[in-house]
Chain A
Amino acid sequence: MLTSKVFVKKTKKGGVLKVVREHYLRDDITCGSQHCTKCDHNKNHTTYDDQDDGDDLKNQPLVLSPKSDSELCPEPHYIIPDTNVVLHQIDILEDESLQNFIIPQIVVDEVKHRSLPANKRLKDILSNCSKHFYTFCNEYNNETYIERQAGESSNDRNDRAIRKTAKWYTEHLAEYQDDIKIILLTDDKDNRTKAIEEGIKAFTVHDYIKSLKNGGNLVDRLAWKSSAGSQQEGKYIYPEHLPTSEVLKGVKSGKYLQGSFMASRENYLEASVNVTDSENFVLIQGHQNLNRAVHNDIVAIEMLPKEEWSCPSSLVLEDTVSAETDDVLEDDLKLKNKVPEHLRQPTGRVIGIIKRNWRQYCGILRPSLLKKGTKHIFIPAERRIPRIRIETRQAEDLANQRIIVAIDSWPRSSRYPQGHFVRKLGTIGDKAAENEVLLLEHDVPHQVFSEKVLSFLPKMPWSITEEDMKRRTDLRHIVVCSVDPPGCTDIDDALHCRKLDNGNYEVGVHIADVSHFIRPGTALDDEAANRGTTVYLTDKRIDMVPELLSSNLCSLRCDVERLAFTVIWEIKEDATIVNTKFMKSVINSKASLMYSEAQARIDDKTMNDELTISLRGLNRLAKLLKKGRIEAGALCLASTEVRFQVDSETADPIDVKTKQLLETNSMVEEFMLLANISVAKKILEEFPNCALLRRHPSPPPSNFEPVIKAASSKGFTLDCSSNKKLAESLDIAVFEENQFFNTMLRIMTTRCMMQAVYFCSGMLPESEFGHYGLAADIYTHFTSPIRRYSDIIAHRLLAVCIGADASYPNLLEKKKTQTLCNNLNYRHKMAQYAGRASVNLHTHLFFKSRVQDEDGYVLFVRKNALQVLIPKYGLEGTIYLNNDKKSKVQFIYNEEQDTQTAGNVVFHVFDHVVVQLSIDRSNVQHLKLSIQIVQPEVMIIVCISI
């Protein structure tokens, strides 16, 4: 049967266009129930999908006799939810106890249009066989398709379509013995009455879930009903959001600006909006102006008149309002002070939300005064997210637990958004739970690899076959070694160097050939692409590829034959490169050294074996290469990285060490850089449109302002006009009295830098390919394919260049590559944050049973706080000043000179202080690391949380 859809559409030019589309109605769409014998279930998928695994489950996911716990409907039944139920209660639908749902196609479509995250989660549920969810294509079935009636809104039409589907199912399954009931879940009253009139069982989600015998914990997880959202009339805290149509019109006409909302980490009353299509950030201040926007939302803002422009206050504010009463005004007052004209920045206010980007948040419950109450406040771990009101009956259970909560809505009358409890992660302070929080908060995929992914691993025992040898260069006779940090099991690079007869050196970098094992398009490849990078936590490594590959088959361990991708240069005595060759090879590493071992060999004059000579050659060339690079303007920046020495039994940290840097570190680094640059050149030459490269944009001059200011306070001028000038001026900024001064300056400079990012060469003009930090025209990542997916792509591209492998469609499509790059950049950033958070967590554990005095330096002076760096632990803490109004010591902030003064003690940037570190136990729920200044002597006690 054939019908056609006719509708009218506006064209881009403004004309009106009639669009006619065909719409085929079919009679071969099955009901998906194992109960049914009428439908030809096999036809459904086999026609185009030749996978025959678990066909039964795929075509008929709805089980024969669904178990029923509901008191409302004790008979076995299938459930049909409507669109709003799916959108708002997706958390519940994900619960494994809810099974045998029929999702009409119209619901899937509507969900897709209304919310992408919900759509993704719905898709995941639908593809999970154990959930027994079935998508019924009601729109293509000639018995359930309905035409929109005259005067009927499209929402009403869709509701009617869902009812029609429910009706059809009821009749379809009625003919069988011990018949299965169909239940329609909808929160729309009108829809419900109509359904009941038509003879369909219909309930609200809340009624249904409450009627489940074991639905106790599900009730907590129900999202708030929008109607029940405590609509206390009269008292609105926030201004109204404009309707979407008006917002979009305003954005188009330029009256409003659209951008992504970034809440400030330091001050909960401040945020900036990154306006789309421009580099500008617009400042937003105060509750009224923030107007219920949450971090990462896409918002529409209106600019304030110039007189009301403000500047980011240097206050560090934590939301500490404890009572339920919303003394918003007072908070706003804190910020109300006139700002001198020259400091003013563009400031605006949020007038509407274009798209919410809410996710699930980890955090803890705030201890409530009423122990038995059901309403609680949830404190997210991420400081940029506001507190969330939730309703739960198990507050006592959850008191010392890390939990996950989702936001449902944020009504005008409520100070905080409203949400619901999703699940608990574990006890606070428990390392496993804390790690879990860390990984979830940073969106690190950390599940164990699925069976499907593992099925693409090579079968063990694995060995190199004749076939492999034929297409590879045999380099097993060459003395190759790897140099890595201690405890490294995923060795992805090895080196060699030997003198040629013509006096030049031959240097080879051998990289694990991961792309040999991970073939494009497999589940293994998809999983690695999604993970993007291996994440290193202090006590744990979350692998990008399964362990068999990362620590065994790909790892270039000594004395075993391994497949490698090799770059070989012929280098002259003065480190100029004569030629470069790329090849797939087989190597046999002679030694896996640690940095310190390699260093010892180089330094030990008595050792003169082939390996040591090779290392010395490498070291010598590396020094020359480094010199050349620094002359070109490469920056030498600093960051504090620490290593915990961990108790082997309890895995608790017992000591902390900052990472040591040896000559050999920079030796390996130098050759890796060289390899990356060589490969980047090669792949760009061959694939000008789709090479995956890495660039580091030069930061805008305004970024450097804080460092320049800080340096000038000590009488040094930094020239930030180019990377070379910057490097030079950093080199001379040495301060005799303060050894650490230069390092701190470099740390501060590091923070001014832009993020280096992956990109696809076809998407940007060539002038933007450069790498600022390394002073290279072009760069990519090639040398760590075990732990970075970008390198795997570089390997594949290079393999095609040298004819060692075939290309595949997605590799050559620049849009796909760019999408991939965006994911890699995101994962990369998150992995870094997760790593830092993990160090913080361990610092916490370390100080659990300790009180220690340490040297520290003032990094920044803020209006009400000092930020102090403690180099030994790489720790940065905020010391709040003037917290206690009654305290005798009151600090006075001098904005001109950036100082804080109390009596005769003055704190400048870079000042040396001695601080005492301990754990503040005043709040059992939320342990804080407290820092007290011991020297110079001022009596203040303050807390920081990390």
Chain B
Amino acid sequence: MAGLELLSDQGFRIDGRRPNELRKIQCRLGVFKQSDGSAYIEQGNTKVLAAVYGPHEVRGSRSKMLHDKVLVNCQYSMATFSTGERKKRPRGDRKSTEMTMHLKQTFDAVILTSLYPRSQIDIYVEVLQSDGGNYCASVNAATLALIDAGIPLKDYVCACSAGFVNDTSIVDISYLEESGGGPELIVATLPKSEQIVFLEMNSRLHEDNLSKVLDVASKGCKDIYEILDRAVREHVSKVSHSLATTD
């Protein structure tokens, strides 16, 4: 993009981060009482709520029911006030549908689906404010919500994006950096086994650089894992503490 220097000579990005720094992450588990599990995450200015229901019996048409594993049902939606210009449709447009599908694929792979045949798990994700990395924040929030709901997972799933500017990989790119037209790599991993659950790339990137960018993105996932894990442990200790006192 003309004029916009995404990475300055001094090695700072437009918002003052260095290339390998994530945005500030804040998260909470158990934000709703009605759902079985819920979580809220802020990655910089991207704010996402996730709620999980289930496992419960399959609702709606029984034909969707699977005999050997649980049906993972996802819904991704963006609040009408989440972007600069008010959105007309919060869900159901092409982008949201695609995102829903991606989320479903991701969690199908991580949830131990064979434990709950003939039942259903719902994951609802709502983007309250969008500033780049919507998929990543959604995955991270949904992971926390699933943990909060006590649904058995293979591992945490952490997602992180990365871009490539002036021969340097930049991690966790913001909306401004996304819209520059440069390459964007989105990856969701299982941090312990270092397996990739999901990988998406936009725009063109020469294959020589792919491994560099992928490394940076996976490193970002691990960093996010540390933060999520700390939040989960804190939450669990708080809950167990309150349980102990109420007993």
Contact = CB atoms under 8 A, between A and B. Distances in A.
Given A48-B18, A808-B208, A137 B84 contact: no
Interface in B105-153: 131
Contact of A18 (B5, B10, B14, B84): B84
Contact of B45 (A4, A137, A812): A4
A637 interface: no
A358 interface: no
B168 A48 contact: yes
A15 interface: yes
A127 B10 CA distance: 11
B77 interface: no
Interface of B: 3, 5, 8-12, 14-20, 23-24, 44-45, 84-85, 131, 168, 174, 176, 204-206, 208-209
B24 A2 contact: yes
B17 A24 contact: yes
A25 B16 contact: yes
Nearest to A139: B16
Contacts of A105: 8, 10
Contacts of A2: 24
A232 to B, nearest CB: 39
A383 to B, nearest CB: 34
Given A22-B23, A22-B174, A808-B208, A48 B11 contact: yes
5 contacts: A18-B84, A48-B18, A137-B12, A808-B208, A809-B209
Query: What secondary structure prevails in chain A residues at the interface with B?
Result: mixed
A23 B9 contact: no
Contact of A140 (B16, B84, B204, B206): B16
A126 B23 contact: no
A139 B8 CA distance: 12
Given A19-B84, A22-B44, A809-B208, A47 B20 contact: yes
User: Which range contains the number of A residues in contact with the other chain?
Assistant: 35 or more
Contacts of B24: 2, 24
B176 A21 contact: yes
Contact of A17 (B3, B5, B85, B131): B85
A150 B17 CA distance: 27
Nearest to B23: A22
Interface in A3-39: 4, 11, 15, 17-26
B176 A812 contact: no
A640 interface: no
Contact of B85 (A15, A49, A812): A15
A471 interface: no
Given A808-B208, A809-B209, A812-B206, A45 B45 contact: no
A24 B209 contact: no
A263 B215 CA distance: 54
Contacts of A25: 16
B86 to A, nearest CB: 10
A135 interface: yes
A813 B208 CA distance: 14
B146 to A, nearest CB: 28
Contacts of B16: 23-26, 137, 139-140
Interface in A260-311: none
A864 B134 CA distance: 73
Interface in A818-871: none
Contacts of B23: 22
A123 interface: yes
A809 B206 contact: yes
A49 B11 contact: yes
Contacts of A807: 206
Nearest to B20: A48
A806 B209 CA distance: 13
Contacts of A813: 204
Contacts of A812: 204, 206
Interface string A117-128: 000000100110
Contacts of B208: 806, 808-809
A48 B19 CA distance: 7
B33 to A, nearest CB: 30
Contacts of A47: 18, 20
A22 B45 contact: yes
Interface in A903-940: none
Nearest to B13: A24
Interface in A791-811: 806-809
B167 to A, nearest CB: 8
A48 B206 CA distance: 21
B23 to A, nearest CB: 7
A22 B15 contact: yes
A26 B209 CA distance: 30
A15 B17 CA distance: 30
Nearest to B17: A24
Interface string A393-408: 0000000000000000
B15 A135 contact: no
A77 B131 CA distance: 44
B165 to A, nearest CB: 12
B15 A24 contact: yes
B206 A123 contact: no
A140 B174 contact: no
B105 to A, nearest CB: 30
A15 B208 CA distance: 42
A881 to B, nearest CB: 51
A850 B14 CA distance: 66
Interface string A40-66: 000001011100000000000000000
Contacts of A26: 16
Nearest to A521: B167
Interface in A422-461: none
A813 B18 CA distance: 27
Nearest to A807: B206
A25 B24 CA distance: 12
Contacts of B20: 47-48
Contacts of A21: 14-15, 45, 174, 176
A656 to B, nearest CB: 49
B9 A135 contact: yes
A640 B173 CA distance: 59
Nearest to B176: A21
A813 B24 CA distance: 34
A11 B11 contact: no
Nearest to A137: B10
A573 B146 CA distance: 79
A49 B7 CA distance: 13
Contacts of A137: 8, 10, 12, 16
Contacts of A11: 85
Q: Which of A18, A19, A48, A812 has the most CB of B within 10 A?
A: A48
Contacts of B85: 11, 15, 17
Given A22-B45, A807-B206, 7 more contacts: A20-B131, A21-B15, A22-B15, A49-B11, A105-B10, A112-B5, A137-B16
8 nearest A-B residue pairs (beta carbon) = A809-B206, A24-B16, A140-B16, A22-B15, A17-B84, A22-B44, A48-B19, A137-B10
Nearest to B209: A809
Contacts of B18: 47-48
Contacts of B44: 22
Nearest to A25: B16
Contacts of A108: 8
A66 to B, nearest CB: 22
Contacts of B204: 812-813
B108 to A, nearest CB: 33
Nearest to B183: A809
